[in-house]
A and B are shown apart, each in its own frame.
Chain A
C-alpha cells in the first residue's frame, strides 16, 4: 500500500465513521417524535449504541489509524456509467416500460464492463446474448411468475 493510498484510506475511514455518527444523532433525534414508547425504545437504544461505537471507533482511529485500501485501482467512468445506467433505467421504467428500460441498464453495463476492443463479432454476440437474456427473464417474470412488470 503506497503513501497516498494509505492517507486516502485513513481519511476516508474517518469520514465514513463521522457519517455513521451523524446518522446515529439524526436517528436519536427522530425517535423523540414517536408517540409510543414501544416503537421508541428499540431504535433509541440502537442509535445510542451507534453513537457510542462510532465515538470509540473515532478515538481508536486517531490513536491508531486503520489500514484500508481506499477506492483502489480501477477506472472511475466505468463504475459511474454502470450505476448511472441502472438508475436511469429505474427512472425511465414507468414511461417506456420494463424491457426498454432494461435495455438502458444492459447497454450501460455492457459498455462499462467491456475492456477488449469491439469487433463486429463481439458486437453481434454480446448484444445478441443480451437480448436473449433480457427477453428470457422478462418472459419468465411477466408470464410464468405473473409479476406485473411495467
Chain B
C-alpha cells in the first residue's frame, strides 16, 4: 500500500472510467436477464488497449454497478435484475407496492455503497490472511453452507413451513434436470432434447418472479405501484436515517458478504440470502420481514455488494475467482499479462493498489450516480402507464432470457415456469423456496457427492460431515435459524396468554 498508487487511481482518466463503469454497470444490471457477469464480459474487450490498472478499475466499477443495478428491477418490478438481488425482492417489492419504492431504492443505494466499501477495504487491508479462509472451505463446508441457505425457507414460507419445504425440494429437483456435472448421466429430461441443458437459473428467476406479477397486473385495473400525489423523488434523508439506525445490520451483512465473496463459487445471491437470514433471525418482534421491512433491503444489498471486494481476494491472491464475474476479470488480467497469485501484491503492487483505490473511488461514485439513476428509474416505472409497462417488461423478459444462452427453449421454459409459479403461488406455495432450491441445489449436490466420496474412501462418513469445526459452526447456525421462528412464536403466544390472563 503506498500513496503513489492512491494518486495514480485519482487521475482524471481513472475517475472517468470508474464513473462510466458504475453507470454502465448499473444500467445493464437493472435489466432483467443481464447479469453482472454478462455486463463485465460484454465490456471486457474495450479494456484490452488500456493500462492494466485502468482496465481493472473499469471492470471493477462495472461489476459493482451491475450488482447494485439489480436492485432496481427487484424493488420496482419484483424481478431480480441480477441473481444477487433475489433477496431484495422479499422486502423491496412489498415496499414499492405500498408506496415506498423511492425509499427502498435510496436504501439499496446506501447499503450497496457501504457494503462495497467494506468489501474493498477488506481487499485493501486483509487480502492475504483472508484468502486462507477460502482454502479452509472444503466440499463438506460448501454443502453445509447451501443447507444453511436453504434454512431460509423456514422464514420464506408465508407461515406454512411444510409448503416451503415442498417448494425447496422441488426447486432442488429442478436444479438436477439435464446432464449431471459429476458423471454425465442425463437426468429428469424424459427424452426431451429441450431439457438436456437444464434450467438456466437466471431465466427461471425471471419466470418465477416476473411473469406472475405481469399476470396479476394485467388482470385487474388497479395501478401497478401505489404512489402518493406529489411524491416523486427519492427519499434520501429518510433512507440515510434508517441506514444509520441499522448500522449493526449494515456492518454484519457487509462482513457476511465479504466472507461469502471470498468463497469461490458462492457469489452475491448466496451472500444476500445468508445476510437476509441473519437479519431476520436477529430481528425485533415488531419487524415484519417479507412485508416491506427496510432492514431486509439493507442486509441483502450491503452483502451482495460486499462480495465484489471479497471476491477479488482469492482472485488476486490465489488466482481462484471468488465469483463468476471475477473469472471473467481474471481472464482479462491474463490477456493484460498480469499474473495473479501470492506474489502479485509484491511484484505488481502498484497495479493492485491502484486498482483497489480505484474500486473504492468507484464505490463512492456509486452514491451520487446510483441515487440519480434510482430517481429516474423510480419516476419512469411510476409514471409509465400500466398498459405500456406490462408489454414492455414482457418483451424485456423474452429478450433477456433469450440472450443468456441464445435459446428460444429457455424463453418457453421461462414463460411456463412463470405460469407454474403463478398457479402454485395462488395456493400458498411461494416462489422463493423453489428459487432457493434451484440456486443452492448444484452447490449442495457437488458438496454432498464429493464429501460422500471422500468420506466413503476414508471410511469416515460421520467425521467427514460432522467432524470439521467450520461445518459444525455452520450446522449450529442452521439449527439456530430453523429454531428461532418457533421460539419467537412460542414467546409471542406466552406473552399473549399472559396479557389475556
Q: Are A and B co-members of a single complex?
A: yes
A interface residues, Cβ below 8 angstroms from B: 9, 12-13, 15-17, 20, 23-24, 27, 30-31, 34-36, 38-43, 45-47, 49-50, 53-54, 56-57, 60, 66, 68-76, 78-79, 81-83, 86-87, 89-90, 93-94, 98, 102, 105-110, 112-116, 122, 126, 129-130, 133-134, 137-138, 141, 144-150
A-B contact pairs, 8 of them (CB 8 A): A35-B185, A53-B166, A70-B427, A86-B398, A87-B412, A98-B399, A106-B391, A147-B406
**With A83-B415, A113-B386, A144-B42 given, can you name 15 additional A-B contacts, CB distance below 8 Å?**
A12-B427, A16-B429, A23-B173, A35-B185, A39-B182, A39-B187, A66-B428, A86-B398, A105-B394, A105-B398, A110-B390, A113-B389, A113-B390, A146-B42, A148-B406
Q: Using A90-B398, A126-B385 as known contacts, say yes or no to A105 and B408 having CB atoms under 8 A apart.
A: no
Which residue of chain B is the closest to A73 with respect to CB atoms? B220
Q: Using A30-B188, A46-B169 as known contacts, say yes or no to A130 and B426 having CB atoms under 8 A apart.
A: no
Main secondary structure on A side of the interface with B: helix
A132 to chain B, nearest CB (A): 10
Contact B399 A102 (CB under 8 A): yes
Q: Which of B38, B162, B419, B449 contacts A83 (CB 8 A)?
A: B419
Q: Which of B42, B162, B218 contacts A112 (CB 8 A)?
A: B218
- Chain B interface size, as a band, is 35 or more
Contact A102 B398 (CB under 8 A): yes
Contact A116 B387 (CB under 8 A): yes
| CB under 8 Å from chain A, chain B span 410-467 | 411-412, 415, 418-419, 423-424, 426-429, 441, 444-445, 448-449, 452-453
Closest 9 CB pairs of A and B: A109-B391, A74-B219, A36-B183, A39-B180, A113-B390, A115-B221, A39-B185, A50-B169, A114-B387
A10 to B165, CA, bound (A): 19
Contact A41 B387 (CB under 8 A): no
Contact B428 A13 (CB under 8 A): yes
Asked if B26 is at the interface of the complex by the 8 Å CB criterion, the answer is no
A141 to B187, CA, bound (A): 33
A95 to B367, CA, bound (A): 46
A73 to B217, CA, bound (A): 11
Main secondary structure on B side of the interface with A: helix
Contact A130 B392 (CB under 8 A): yes
Chain A residues closer than 8 Å to B390, beta-carbon distance: 82, 109-110, 112-113
A47 to B395, CA, bound (A): 35
Contact A78 B398 (CB under 8 A): no
Asked if B97 is at the interface of the complex by the 8 Å CB criterion, the answer is no
B382 to chain A, nearest CB (A): 15
Chain B residues closer than 8 Å to A56, beta-carbon distance: 162
| CB under 8 Å from chain A, chain B span 175-195 | 176, 180, 182-185, 187-188, 190
A87 to B414, CA, bound (A): 10
Asked if B287 is at the interface of the complex by the 8 Å CB criterion, the answer is no
A39 to B392, CA, bound (A): 41
Q: Using A12-B426, A30-B187, A83-B419 as known contacts, say yes or no to A20 and B388 having CB atoms under 8 A apart.
A: no
Q: Using A49-B169, A53-B165, A74-B219 as known contacts, say yes or no to A42 and B392 having CB atoms under 8 A apart.
A: no
Chain A residues closer than 8 Å to B183, beta-carbon distance: 34-36, 38-39
Chain B residues closer than 8 Å to A146, beta-carbon distance: 42
| CB under 8 Å from chain A, chain B span 149-203 | 160, 162-163, 165-166, 169-170, 172-173, 176, 180, 182-185, 187-188, 190
Contact B215 A82 (CB under 8 A): yes
A68 to B426, CA, bound (A): 7
Contact B426 A46 (CB under 8 A): no
